[in-house]
């Protein structure tokens, strides 16, 4: 791979004596990583299922390097089950710096494809609210798919302009993450398109857009709240210079990041952190800033009337979990949703999903959906079958085939103890309900 000469000249000027080390790193294969989903899976279960040793990265306690020779990781049954997320190692650093805690209200403003949102969701442990936004509708659909696969119950996924969203929720969020669209220099080893699209002019245009997004994001942070800005690029224009310009325009204070991954950033924003390939990741920049003044506001909570199909939804939920729904139900068209606690008003914000899709209304009944089971543990469910990740039954299920099963009604299908999907049992057979768009061809 031949990198642009202008880019390499810039890196030589930036790195000085370390330039040759950087150049050698860029000639090596890119680093790969996975992040365990603590909502679904223990480290022991994941290592046994993937047949790997845990090789921790310095950027997140939930992440490990993946052996370079490991192939088809995305087709592994535990990946289908949301037990882990494939993520470039240093990409986990931004959420580590954000440090979300259960019960907090967190906004991920540029969230697709969902690596950082699903990391936030795991750290919230089902408590509080995660609002994940992506302005590009097609990418927001991918974001939603990953939120569902990872079993996150307390998320709202939207496709909305950042300014619109942040004006509506001014002062409402405890923590906001802006993982900004960038020139992608930290992806050069694994993304040829990023190399082909690079230019100094592109770097400048990215920097202008990043500052505009940060300006919007600043509104959503409550007084005393935290704003984290991150990129996967090396340029000072998109990193230190954007942060410096933002701090001059807004009453925020740059904070030291407790976890000392990578190295200090350059110049007067040295409290931010940089990650180069020689630091154990492909490339990232992370700055943590606290809002010093402003207002703290509360969400206008959504007003919900009882769904027309309320009784049918209750019945199907009871048949699966043996109890009443523990969340407020919302009917949107033919969809029944289990809302997160204290869900904000959603109108006009391009919301794709709030909470968990319980089921679809069909005539006089509600048919449960895959997302309901993806968000449930094996212990939650009244009826389950559990197979090993290398069993023929799991391979058949992922292809959409029927299985043998006793009992009757809706049955959760688990792999190594992690809920994968469901089927409906009758007459000794389990009719497969794994979504066609997710099925394996192998």
Predicted confidence at residue 295, as pLDDT, reads 82
pLDDT, tens only, 271-312: 999 999 999 999 999 999 999 999 889 999 999 999 999 999
Q: Is-catalytic flag, 25?
A: no
- The CATH classification of domain 377-442, taken from the options 2.30.130.60, 3.40.50.620, 3.40.50.300, 4.10.490.10: 2.30.130.60
Which candidate in 206, 232, 292, 414 is catalytic?
A: 232
Q: Which of 149, 89, 155 is nearest to 120 (CA)?
A: 155
Predicted confidence at residue 306, as pLDDT, reads 92
What residues does each domain of the chain span?
5-291, 300-374, 377-442
pLDDT band at 68 (very low <50, low <70, confident <90, very high): confident
Assigned CATH topology for domain 5-291? Rossmann fold (3.40.50)
pLDDT over 80 at 333, yes or no: yes
pLDDT band at 180 (very low <50, low <70, confident <90, very high): very high
Predicted confidence at residue 364, as pLDDT, reads 87
Which residues on neighbouring strands pair with residue 86, listed in sequence order? 34
pLDDT band at 1 (very low <50, low <70, confident <90, very high): confident
Q: Which residues of 284-313 are buried (b: 16+ CB within 10 A; e: fewer)?
A: bbbbbbebeebeeeebeebeeeebebeebb
pLDDT band at 102 (very low <50, low <70, confident <90, very high): very high
- What pTM, to 2 d.p., does this model score? 0.97
Mean pLDDT of the chain: 96
């Amino acid at each position: 791979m031949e990198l642009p000469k202008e880019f390499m000249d810039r890196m030589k000027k930036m790195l000085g004596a370390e330039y040759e080390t950087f150049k050698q790193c860029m000639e090596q294969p890119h680093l790969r990583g996975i992040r365990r989903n603590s909502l679904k899976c223990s480290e022991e279960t994941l290592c046994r299922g993937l047949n790997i040793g845990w090789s921790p990265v310095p950027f997140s306690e939930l992440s490990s390097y993946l052996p370079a020779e490991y192939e088809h990781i995305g087709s592994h049954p535990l990946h289908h089950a949301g037990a882990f997320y494939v993520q470039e190692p240093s990409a986990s650093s931004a959420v580590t710096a954000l440090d979300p805690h259960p019960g907090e209200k967190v906004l991920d403003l540029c969230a697709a494809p969902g690596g950082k949102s699903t990391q936030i969701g795991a750290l919230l442990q089902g408590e509080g609210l995660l609002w994940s936004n992506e302005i590009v509708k097609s990418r927001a659909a991918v974001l939603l798919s990953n939120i569902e696969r990872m079993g996150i119950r307390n998320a709202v996924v939207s496709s909305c302009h950042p300014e619109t969203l942040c004006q509506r929720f001014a002062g409402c969020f405890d923590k906001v993450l802006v993982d900004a669209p960038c020139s992608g220099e930290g992806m050069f080893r694994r993304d040829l398109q990023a190399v082909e699209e690079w230019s100094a002019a592109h770097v400048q245009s990215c920097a202008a857009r990043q500052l505009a997004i940060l300006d919007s994001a600043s509104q959503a942070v409550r007084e005393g709240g935290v704003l984290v800005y991150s990129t996967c690029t090396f340029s000072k224009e998109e990193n230190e210079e954007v942060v410096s310009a933002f701090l001059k325009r807004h009453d925020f204070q740059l904070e030291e990041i407790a976890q000392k991954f990578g190295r200090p950033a350059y110049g007067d924003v040295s409290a931010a952190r940089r990650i180069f390939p020689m630091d154990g990741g492909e490339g990232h920049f992370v700055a943590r800033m606290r809002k010093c003044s402003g207002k703290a506001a509360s969400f206008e909570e959504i007003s919900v009337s009882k769904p027309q199909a309320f009784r049918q939804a209750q019945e199907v939920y009871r048949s699966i979990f043996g109890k009443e729904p523990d969340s407020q139900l919302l009917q949107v068209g033919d969809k029944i949703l289990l809302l997160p606690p204290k869900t904000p008003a959603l109108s006009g914000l391009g919301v794709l999903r709030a909470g968990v899709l319980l089921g679809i209304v069909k005539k006089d009944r509600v048919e449960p959906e895959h997302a309901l089971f993806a968000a449930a543990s094996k212990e939650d469910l009244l009826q389950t079958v559990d197979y090993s990740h290398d069993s023929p039954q799991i391979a058949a299920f992922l292809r959409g085939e029927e299985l043998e099963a006793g009992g009757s009604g809706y049955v959760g299908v688990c792999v190594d103890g992690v809920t994968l999907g469901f089927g409906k049992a009758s007459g000794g057979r389990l009719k497969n309900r794994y979504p066609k768009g997710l099925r394996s061809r192998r």
